Amino acid sequence: MKLSARNVLKGKVAAIEPGAVTTIVKIDLGGGVIVTSSITKAAADDLGLSVGDEAFAVIKASDVLVGKP
């Protein structure tokens, strides 16, 4: 797999929360760091994800938002 994105984080699928349209996927990067992604149900089905699978969180964004209470 070759990608133009430079932020590719390797981990293991920690949880999958399927919904009617989207699926929440949590990837454990180790050290207590979890990345959560919302993907389409169709994409999750195509990937055939299971808890414990090796997976990559690929992050490509032009903006990073910061908030403060």
Write down all domains in the chain, each with its CATH number in brackets. Answer: 7-59 (2.40.50.100)
Give me the percent of the chain exceeding a pLDDT of 90: 75
Rounded Cα gap, residues 16 and 29, in angstroms: 15
Quick one: CA torsion of 58, 61, 63, 66, rounded to 10 degrees?
Answer: -10
Rounded Cα gap, residues 33 and 11, in angstroms: 10
pTM here is: 0.83
Give the mean pLDDT of the chain: 91
Could you read off the pLDDT of 28-52 as tens digits, one per residue? Answer: 999 999 999 999 999 999 999 999 9
Q: Is the pLDDT of residue 59 over 80?
A: yes
Rounded Cα gap, residues 9 and 31, in angstroms: 13
